[in-house]
Chains A and B, each alone.
Chain A
């Protein structure tokens, strides 16, 4: 069968286009992580939290981290807004309540355990993983220390042990996955919270519970559950009586999972890598044949 150059190029481009369209749809379906039905979650009620910082203490004990240097009653830590780091996997910050200056609002910060975590999608070696229970966990043995997860995280949570030159690792809240969840326990911070401002349970139930609580006290709560839809949904959610913007929450993250922003482009990369060389090799083979033919005919003529 004789194929001329035009037909060859047409068929190649047709294969390429169908490949890109077909495969990108497939990728969206297979990497959709919102499907774990019974995944767990946490709900922090910022109206109830009174800033005792026992959650910080319990977290440190559960993860064998060095204890607090200053006593928990020392309020000087609240003077600046802190971020979780390699020694504090969770921190409590204080914000002034503009409506009632006598009653400040305390906000606990930790990994939010996104339903579609950008740290997991950014990790080159699969050191980070979203478990069916909802926790985003980290495997130190696989990590190569590239710290892409730190850049990818929309909440700036993963921290790196910069002071450990020999075996540095990423440190972040792991939902007490190894030490408690696997054994049927509940995370240390939720267990110790004296006012039960942190409720642990199935994510779907927590959303119902939070909605009900807001519905019953519309004058007390802001009608929003932070984390229900932010970056595609997170396992850790917040309800508050003060607008979330005033408490350092990023309200501009959108409801689209962060990995979706790069997924379309990244899924095209392998196709380009396969089709590109094949296409060029085909063109080369075609033109080489023609060159040889013309050379032969030239030789015959001469």
Chain B
């Protein structure tokens, strides 16, 4: 029996190794062309970049990247600090590098994967909200984290929406209302995800 166990473990180990190698290959293939250029190990910087290729109104813009580096001598003046990558490409954080639309200042790697809501309810069990999956599908934090100031791009919901209803201030929905309206509104609009109470909230038996 021990021999058979050993063989199974061996096969399993080879399988894991193979999967991880394939995964790395895929990562390299998927990596952003801009990012690979700026993060080359031998310190090579692209001579020039061509922006605004997709515009129908104006012609593409040639950007002399190396000349800028020669003058500024500091990558971080343009490439903001990131813990993972030294000089990240613009489009890692910014949705469209050519029009400089802020996507998020929070790196996707640092985003909370799950949130657990509704811990105190007497009727329903707590609800697990897959935060990262929603980000990956929607791709824009502002869809949910609306009304933000530039300093605080993704404020937590409770920053503005009160957990206890304040009937002196009826203009702003409370936390519960904000959640339900946002979740169900989107799920109904795109006909995806749960809309019935018990699909998210399991009843306490």
Give residues in A with beta carbon < 8 Å to B. Answer: 48, 50, 52, 54, 57, 72-73, 186, 190-191, 193-196, 199-202, 205-206, 209
CB pair A209–B167 under 8 Å, yes or no, is no
Residues of chain B within 8 A (CB-CB) of A50 are 184, 195
Which residue of B170, B171, B180, B198 has the most chain A CB atoms within 10 A of its CB atom? B170
Complexed CA–CA distance, A202 and B166 (Å): 12
CB pair A206–B196 under 8 Å, yes or no, is no
Within 8 A of A (CB), among B155-189: 165, 167-168, 170-171, 173-174, 176-177, 180-181, 184
The smallest beta-carbon distance between A113 and chain B, in angstroms, is 16
Give residues in B with beta carbon < 8 Å to A. Answer: 123, 165, 167-168, 170-171, 173-174, 176-177, 180-181, 184, 195-198
Closest chain B residue to A199 by CB distance? B170
Which residue of B165, B174, B184, B196 has the most chain A CB atoms within 10 A of its CB atom? B165
CB pair A196–B176 under 8 Å, yes or no, is yes
Closest chain A residue to B198 by CB distance? A73
CB pair B174–A196 under 8 Å, yes or no, is yes
Complexed CA–CA distance, A206 and B168 (Å): 10
Interface of B, secondary structure class, is: loop
Residues of chain B within 8 A (CB-CB) of A196 are 165, 173-174, 176-177, 180-181
* Beyond A191-B165, A193-B177, 4 additional pairs, beta carbon < 8 A: A48-B181, A195-B180, A206-B170, A209-B170
Complexed CA–CA distance, A186 and B176 (Å): 15
Complexed CA–CA distance, A186 and B167 (Å): 8
Closest chain A residue to B203 by CB distance? A71
Complexed CA–CA distance, A247 and B139 (Å): 39
CB pair B170–A201 under 8 Å, yes or no, is yes
Residues of chain B within 8 A (CB-CB) of A200 are 165, 167, 170
Closest chain B residue to A48 by CB distance? B181
CB pair A194–B170 under 8 Å, yes or no, is no
Complexed CA–CA distance, A205 and B170 (Å): 8
CB pair B184–A186 under 8 Å, yes or no, is no
Residues of chain A within 8 A (CB-CB) of B177 are 193-196
Complexed CA–CA distance, A57 and B124 (Å): 13
Residues of chain B within 8 A (CB-CB) of A202 are 167
CB pair A195–B184 under 8 Å, yes or no, is yes
Complexed CA–CA distance, A195 and B177 (Å): 4
The smallest beta-carbon distance between A301 and chain B, in angstroms, is 89
Closest chain B residue to A40 by CB distance? B167
The smallest beta-carbon distance between B157 and chain A, in angstroms, is 14
CB pair B180–A194 under 8 Å, yes or no, is yes
Q: Which of A54, A191, A195, A205 contacts B181 (CB 8 A)?
A: A195
Residues of chain A within 8 A (CB-CB) of B197 are 52, 54, 72-73, 194
The smallest beta-carbon distance between A117 and chain B, in angstroms, is 23
Complexed CA–CA distance, A225 and B176 (Å): 25
The smallest beta-carbon distance between B128 and chain A, in angstroms, is 17
Complexed CA–CA distance, A52 and B171 (Å): 23
Complexed CA–CA distance, A57 and B203 (Å): 14
